[in-house]
Structure 1
Amino acid sequence: MARQDPTRPRGRPPREDLRDHLLTHTLGVLLRDGLEGFSMSSVARSAQASKETLYRHFGDKSGLLAAALEHVGQRVGPLLLEGLDTTDTRRARLERLAHNYLGGLLEPASLALQRIAFADQDRGLGARFATCFTDAARDVVTRELAALGAREPALDAELFLGMVRGLHHERALLGVVPRDHRARQKALVAHAVEVFEAHLPAA
């Protein structure tokens, strides 16, 4: 087992990991305190860093929030593509893609971040969220549908994602989670994929 370098202060990440460390704590503070309670001081305390370090890396509060969204947004592609290589039919590939997308949207931390972005749409966080998450997901699905022979992959991607979300996602954003939500989610995905696949050219 590797031993910690005794010359490195406890709790301080290596230099190359510092940015990731700061952004991870930024997201944690944002989810814990909400946008109104969010501050550079809270992030500095959580990350055991100085405010000067935050300002040096991100400029100001808006820059820090934008960087945190971009940091999390890097996970969108890998999340959506997870397990696709193990599928052996077009239907199975679409279902895996749909489950990955809807499952990611409905994670508690993801829902909290979406609510924060909606609440801050007038100050720019909503637009940043759209770029880092909404548009990123659309682009991944566009490429997948193009590979499956879709005639209008970009438009079809928006249609596909909208069908998969359905009202199930809207209810979740509003805090309405039925007891059978997992069964509903599975049924929604299966039906959305069945309807959507009929729209694609014959395999």
Structure 2
Amino acid sequence: MTDRTYTELLTSIDEAARRLDPREQAACLYGLIAPLLEQIQQEDEPLSDEAVLSTAEAVQGIHLAAAGEPVDADAVYNQLVLVGFVEDQDVDLHLMSQRALAAAAWLRLQTGRDLRSTIFDDTEELIPPYAPSMFTQIVDLLAWTRSDQLYTFWETAVAHPDVADLPAATRELEAMHLEITA
């Protein structure tokens, strides 16, 4: 492992992703997100009276979309966004929320279009916007999520090491870098 900074790793990942076509980018990201989907699926509380799908069905939709099968992408996206915007102070629920938002952002990248949600205003950012591309924004969120931490902007983590464990997030980012560039 090298001693690259978080920002250097994100930049390197972004450069590697730019060499991939959109289908390859989505396939690469699916490999990073897939291990987290089972945890999202465990959210079985009804989140809306208007939900078309259950969370388990939405996760199945992600698997089907990754396999190239037809899905109601808007319904899957909407359910994942509902899970992602669950308001709670519980760290485990917040991490589940981050997983769901990463999966929703992946689906948007996979379909190559804006998807509709009954609760999400497209003028807001679905995931943290601090990385240079949608691909690296998802990877950035995954680095914190896979290290079991609430998302923290890396510059904040550098300036305030008591807020988050940047070395743990950097190790996750390095592991993803190796997967992406292998």
TM-score normalised by the shorter chain: which range applies?
under 0.3
Greater Rg by CA:
1
Q: Give TM-score, length-normalised by structure 1.
A: 0.24
Q: Give TM-score, length-normalised by structure 2.
A: 0.26
Highest RCO, 1 vs 2 (Cα 8 Å, sep ≥ 6): 2
